[in-house]
Amino acid sequence: MFQSPEYSSTLSLNLSEVLEDVGVNETMVMRRRKNFMLRENIQTVTWRSLCDNSTTYNFGSQSEGTTTNGLKSDTDVMIVNYNFNVTQDWSEWKHNKINLFTIQDEDVTPGYCFLQLLRSDEPFSETIIPDEHYIRDNKGRILLKNTCYSNIRDDAEMHGPSNAVPEKEGYSAVDFVCAFHCNSLPQSVLHSLDRHSIGRWPTTEMIRYAVSNGSLVVGASSKISTYPELEWRISTSLGERCFMFNLNITQLHCYVLMKIILKTFLAPSALSSYMCKTVVLHCIQSTDRNIWKKNNLFTCLTYCLLELQSYIRNENCPHFIIPENNLMAGEFNAEEKLDILRKISDTIKSDGRCLLRITIDDIGNRLQDKIGTVRVIPHGMFTPRDITESISGWLFFNLARTISDLDLLILIFLAKYQVNLKQCILTLASYCVYGSRLEQLASRCLVPFLYSTLGTIMASSNIQQNTAVQYQALKLLSLGLSSDVISGRLKLASVLYSVGDMDRAEFILRKTENRYNGDIVEPVCGCWKYPRSDLSAQFKRKCCEQNEDCINQITSFCVRFLQTEINCVPRELQYEMMRSTQDDMQHRCVLEKRWMDFAVVDSLPFLYFLQYKVYGHLQRHQDQHRALCNLVYITENGKNLGHRETALNLVGQCMEQENKPMEAFQCYMLSLQKRERNNAANFHICNLLRKNPSHI
């Protein structure tokens, strides 16, 4: 099987080069993994700071580094709830906890389980149904239904156990799944991990890691379940991630090619990328590890396709860690089976020629170019450097958007549930000191934003009480300057403006403007999913050259003010906190409900607006005019502004102050074109008409 002819070796090497060119190389694989691991740590420390005992994991191709731009893989986010004690042994019962006992009997599909509720005061079966999420089965057991966490996000569509947020322009698709953690693996799993391996893979260390991390249970039943409402899937994603992280680059290439072939030649079908992954893992275990080299890639790919063909023929694809779980059970009928087998057979018989027809990431053209028979790469096709910079740029940008999302989440909890912001900061600060390396970096990404918020809240309280802004508030605002390029500085400048310290405010704003390099810095807003244009070339280049520590030096976040910060908000921006009538509130989308009671503005428009106000107070009219021109320009032409309607409202109020009511009216009308409802422009128009009835 593995006596590769010369052409196969040459094809393998060329194919490996092509995959490395499109981003599946060791450097980019590690970059993807580090980025997603950091993002899951940011999500986890955020929830922990809010006293929520859950952990977030990013699983799947994006976090493994086993994808390309052309595959458009979604992001799999699993939120694991540790408030439940899920156990496979009665001896692991815990007092005063919600105890769930896993049942794997003849009624349950292999690889799945029931979750039986136990009493919290003593280790016995519960006999009383506590709420609608539980049901009593025909054996008298109180079982948890798998629909108890079916709607964790209002902005998502239900796809089985996941809440799927669909792909939009500039935003990849995300699947959110809730799960419980179980400290142990099923006994059958422990036996299967010890089974004979030709390549001595997975290693003893990998198996030990998989066992020590236990398993997860997800609310999903099998396709052939007799009790679809009660079955929970036993997930070994933590162990599988360990296995995937220990594959060499050729093994990763083989898996990526399997997915590309699946999407190109075998879609639509019941086959999934997870089945492809399972096939590759089985093949790695059943072969000598020396086989998996770059010059053998095509042969390894053929072997995996033959193995997949065998699984389909037998309608049995055994889960790699839980082999009694047949991933293909009930997945396709006889007609579909024959069609898939025919397509796989045609792919294998083509001896690699089918690869030249792959359009994903221009694989076919790139491969033919490597072979050298014909120069087919058209002018303008992305170079390997272009692709590396693009992947790096979007990884960094999505990391920044994660930070923005979670800062907003904390603000929402602060406004809605009155969480203790000081305690939240202390929790994050403790991770900065005592956490793992990734937890430290994750906390450092978040805590400066909270310093700025707490400092502004304290300053607002001081202003309300007609007292000087305390040193502690100013100290916190100073600690928040490192949040990003300018938003933390703008909060400090806004406080100084609000207390009438125009000279210091002007100094901060001038220094802030000098810091902002528009060719590199990307605006970031996690308030809602607005259409985005591509990232700047210099931003992508910077991301390619730096690591994640530089994220606060190349991003500019929108500036958010809670109502408790209102006394530090310029009067013109305060209207944004009262943008909605009662009727408007009924027309807020899910994401808008999170922030529309705040005052939120993009950083650069807010910078020029503050300059306009400060220079006006300082009687520096030429500088004031320049600031207004900059504000108008960036509002009209600035790319990727998340709150353009707010910037237009600020421009309109500046025009009113310039005694230009018609220009102000035009700004407010443009603002309404951007956002018809929940827009302070409606108030401004009414006020403008009241003051200038004969000029408009």
Worst-scoring range by mean pLDDT, 15-29, 199-213, 382-396, 613-627? 199-213
- Residue 56 domain flag: no
Contact 195, 255 (CB under 8 A): no
Q: What is the pLDDT at residue 373?
A: 58
Determine how β-strand 75-87 pairs with β-strand 98-103: parallel
Q: What is the pLDDT at residue 174?
A: 79
Report the C-alpha gap between 474 and 462 in whole angstroms: 11
**Cα 372 off chain centre by:** 40
Q: What is the pLDDT at residue 3?
A: 46
The pLDDT confidence band at residue 156, using thresholds 50, 70 and 90, is very low
Angle at the Cα of 585 from the Cα atoms of 494 and 410, rounded to 5 degrees: 50
- Residue 57 domain flag: no
**Cα 262 off chain centre by:** 25
Determine how β-strand 522-524 pairs with β-strand 555-557: parallel
Report the C-alpha gap between 651 and 586 in whole angstroms: 28
Instruction: Read off the pLDDT of each residue in 101-107 and give the average, rounded to a whole number.
Output: 93
In the chain, % of residues over pLDDT 90: 80
Domain boundary among 348, 381, 414: 381
Asked if residue 351 and residue 251 are part of one domain, the reply reads yes
Enclosing H/E stretch for 473: helix 471-479
* CATH number for the domain harbouring residue 376: 1.10.1410.40
pLDDT at 155 over 80: no
Q: What is the pLDDT at residue 152?
A: 52
Q: What is the pLDDT at residue 99?
A: 96
Q: What is the pLDDT at residue 170?
A: 56
Average pLDDT, the chain: 91
Determine how β-strand 98-103 pairs with β-strand 112-118: antiparallel
Question: What is the residue whose two structure tokens read 């990328």?
Answer: 273
Asked if residue 220 and residue 283 are part of one domain, the reply reads no
Q: What is the pLDDT at residue 188?
A: 72
Asked if residue 253 and residue 213 are part of one domain, the reply reads no
Domain span holding position 92: 72-246
**Cα 402 off chain centre by:** 6
Q: What is the pLDDT at residue 1?
A: 41
Q: Specify the 3-state DSSP secondary structure of 234.
A: strand
- Residue 533 domain flag: yes
pLDDT at 150 over 80: no
Asked if residue 312 and residue 294 are part of one domain, the reply reads yes
pLDDT tens digits for range 452-481: 999 999 999 999 999 999 999 999 999 999
Asked if residue 395 and residue 340 are part of one domain, the reply reads no
Q: What is the pLDDT at residue 378?
A: 59
- pTM for the predicted model, two decimal places: 0.92
Where is pLDDT greater, at 174 or 607? Answer: 607
Asked if residue 393 and residue 366 are part of one domain, the reply reads no
Domain boundary among 196, 220, 246: 246
- Residue 658 domain flag: no
What tokens does 464 get?
């309300």
Strand partners, 203: none
Asked if residue 296 and residue 203 are part of one domain, the reply reads no
Asked if residue 372 and residue 431 are part of one domain, the reply reads no
pLDDT tens digits for range 336-365: 999 999 999 999 999 999 999 999 999 999
Asked if residue 347 and residue 426 are part of one domain, the reply reads no
In the chain, % of residues over pLDDT 70: 93
Enclosing H/E stretch for 7: helix 6-21
Domain count, the chain: 3
Instruction: Read off the pLDDT of each residue in 177-193 and give the average, rounded to a whole number.
Output: 82
The pLDDT confidence band at residue 2, using thresholds 50, 70 and 90, is very low
Q: Specify the 3-state DSSP secondary structure of 134.
A: strand
Asked if residue 544 and residue 400 are part of one domain, the reply reads yes
Q: What is the pLDDT at residue 94?
A: 94
- Residue 684 domain flag: no
Instruction: Read off the pLDDT of each residue in 206-225 and give the average, rounded to a whole number.
Output: 91
Q: Specify the 3-state DSSP secondary structure of 577.
A: helix
- Residue 89 domain flag: yes
pLDDT tens digits for range 383-418: 999 999 999 999 999 999 999 999 999 999 999 888
pLDDT at 198 over 90: no
Distances (CA, A) of 442 to 81, 403, 411, 438, 554: 20, 9, 18, 6, 17
The pLDDT confidence band at residue 587, using thresholds 50, 70 and 90, is confident
Worst-scoring range by mean pLDDT, 170-179, 433-442, 492-501? 170-179
pLDDT at 493 over 70: yes
Instruction: Read off the pLDDT of each residue in 220-248 and give the average, rounded to a whole number.
Output: 94
Determine how β-strand 232-235 pairs with β-strand 157-159: unpaired
Instruction: Read off the pLDDT of each residue in 618-642 and give the average, rounded to a whole number.
Output: 96
Asked if residue 253 and residue 236 are part of one domain, the reply reads no
Asked if residue 502 and residue 629 are part of one domain, the reply reads yes
The pLDDT confidence band at residue 555, using thresholds 50, 70 and 90, is very high
Instruction: Read off the pLDDT of each residue in 552-575 and give the average, rounded to a whole number.
Output: 97
- Residue 669 domain flag: no
Worst-scoring range by mean pLDDT, 188-202, 205-219, 616-630? 188-202
Domain boundary among 355, 381, 407: 381
Q: What is the pLDDT at residue 237?
A: 94
The pLDDT confidence band at residue 171, using thresholds 50, 70 and 90, is low
- Residue 653 domain flag: no
